[in-house]
Structure 1
Amino acid sequence: MLFRHALALTAVVSCCTVAAGDDGPPEAGPVSLFNGENLDGWHSDVPAADDDPDVKPSFIVRDGMLVSLGSPNGHLITDAKHANYRLDVEYRFAGKPGNCGVLVHASTPRALYKMFPKSIEVQMNHKHAGDFWCIVEDIAVPNMVECRGPKEKWGITEGKARRILNLTDDSEKPLGEWNKMTIECVDDEVKVWVNGDLVNHGHDCTATSGQIAVQAEGAEVEFKKLQLTPIKTLSETP
């Protein structure tokens, strides 16, 4: 645990050093991607709705929270594209634990299994928060064989080894409590913290911008925070 916290502290200090240059313009402040009232700024992609426009919604607003009901399976996707940012997410499983995820750098819809948009998924599946799943995009981490398995099985499409394990499975809070997940996307790197622990750090990502999405994938999940803070990179500083 001390090692993980040391990594997290190093990453945070590095980020702040890049962002805090005195010569550049001030960074834009944090913006909530969810207004607490409706789904303005988002659109859903739920394949089951193609043939049944009256299918029940997969995503709703309840008590000021964004709620993924878990089914029908699909995604809620930002209308806008984003690059170089920190995304702070607060979530909990509303009932039984299960599966969900936040997708970054999302683009082509239904690129995998006619369901998942091209993206990098940051896993929220209970007890596996912070795993990466490669969805027709790729990313690398240290100790790739340990985290992804034999190299000959790696891939980004159906039937390939797309999962990249996190650094720890013990960072989540007990069921019913709120978890804090921070996803930092800067250039071709993606870092993930869960409740303060650095749980994954990818580099050489094949995408550096795109939409952000949340999943409906079998379990009801409540979100009370989806806040995006732009990060000014050295390459963007005049």
Structure 2
Amino acid sequence: MRNFTQFNICFFLLLIICPGWCFAQSPAETLKANGLARQKKATLFNGKNLNGWYTFLNKQGKDKDPDQVFKVENKMIHISGSEFGCITTNEEYRDYDLEVEFKWGEKTHKPRETAARDNGILIHSQGKDGAFSGNWMYSIECQLIEGGSGDFLVVSDGSGKFAITCPVAPEKQNGTYIYQPQGDTATIFKGRINWFARDAGWKDVKDFRGARDVEKPVGEWNKVRVIAMADDIYFYLNGVLVNRAMRVRPTIGRIQIQSEGAEMFVRKVELTHLTRK
């Protein structure tokens, strides 16, 4: 991958030459460049309970959470991480601007007790609960993991029903594509595409920090914004466009928030419907 200075110069020139090509620097610019209008807002988390969601846990199944892996306290969703699973919206959504605010807690659990804190926001989720590894529906994942928050994952069986296409760097990073706005496109049916500045020396260890991480340290709040319109997805972390996918399939589905061994707090889940102007 080119060095950081070359990357920024190319990115800046691209925006000047092709301002409507949608590699905008901010969510507002992305909405404007695509001619998108924000419409009705839906607050998916009311700060009081998990109305509008159901739980699914590997060992317990649907709507059985005796150990309160997911609970609401102090106007936050507290995810203990003690068992793999997720909360899932009752409704399916398409064409939206999703905002989520989260921070990591201190606790981690087996089998990832010493591994990087790991969760994710899964969108366009369809099919059977637990279809993937007994934990999650097939979906497109906006990854939240120490050092790798910003990655895209296609959580599926590789059959082609779920796919993303991203512009990527000429060379892979440890065998994985890495997002680069001006790169040639690559399509995947399972696996991941790393965010643009994922540290090449990333290790799956607790408290990992990359040299250019956009994610804030443990205990500080992060802001995720996912703009999903038609078959495009823009993934922002703390105001930075960290990844972008096109020709996404499917383009509609439920939203899941994972429990994957790490304690996490969520204080905002808000969705605004989008239409073309």
TM-score range, shorter chain: 0.7 to 0.9
Matched with 2:137 is 117
1:185 Cα offset (Å): 0.5
* Superposition deviation, residue 31 in structure 1: 2.1
Q: Which amino acid aligns with 2:119?
A: C
Distance 1:101 1:10, change over 3 A: closer
Provide the residue aligned with 1:23 in structure 2: none
Residues 1:132 and 2:143 aligned together: no
2:26–2:241 CA contact under 8 A, matched in 1: no
Match of 1:86 among 97, 100, 105: 97
Supply the AA of the counterpart residue of 1:116.
Answer: W
Q: Secondary structure at the match of 1:203?
A: strand
* Distance in 1 (alpha carbons) for counterparts of 2:143 and 2:30: 24
Q: Structure 1: which amino acid aligns with 2:265? A: E
Per-residue CA shift, 1:185-230, capped at 9, x if unaligned? 0111111011111000001111101000100000010001111011
- What's 1:37 paired with? 48
User: Residue 183 of structure 1 corresponds to which residue in structure 2?
Assistant: 226
Is 1:93–1:175's contact at 8 Å kept on the other side of the alignment? yes
2:84 alignment partner in structure 1: 73
Match of 1:56 in 2: 67
Partner of 1:146: 172
Query: 2:118 matched to 1:99?
Result: yes
Is 1:19 the counterpart of 2:36? The answer is yes
Counterparts of 1:54 and 1:10 in 2: how far apart (Å)?
38
Q: Does 1:166 align with 2:195?
A: yes
| Structure 1 residues 41 and 134: CA distance shift in structure 2, 3 A | same
- 1-structure distance, mates of 2:43, 2:197: 28
Structure 2: segments with no counterpart, 5+ residues = 16-22, 108-115, 157-161, 178-187, 199-212
1:163 shift after superposition: 1.3
Calculate percent identity across the aligned residue pairs: 29
**Residues 54/172 of structure 1: CA separation in 2 closer, same or farther (3 Å cut):** closer
Give the structure with the larger helix fraction: 1
Aligned counterparts of 1:72 and 1:121: Cα–Cα separation in 2: 19
Query: 3-state SS of the aligned residue for 1:16?
Result: helix
Write the distance in 1 (CA, Å) between the matches of 2:29 and 2:40: 19
2: CA distance, partners of 1:19 / 1:138: 23
Corresponding position of 1:225: 268
- Give the letter aligned to residue 87 of structure 1: L
| Aligned-CA RMSD value | 2.7
TM-score (norm 1): 0.83
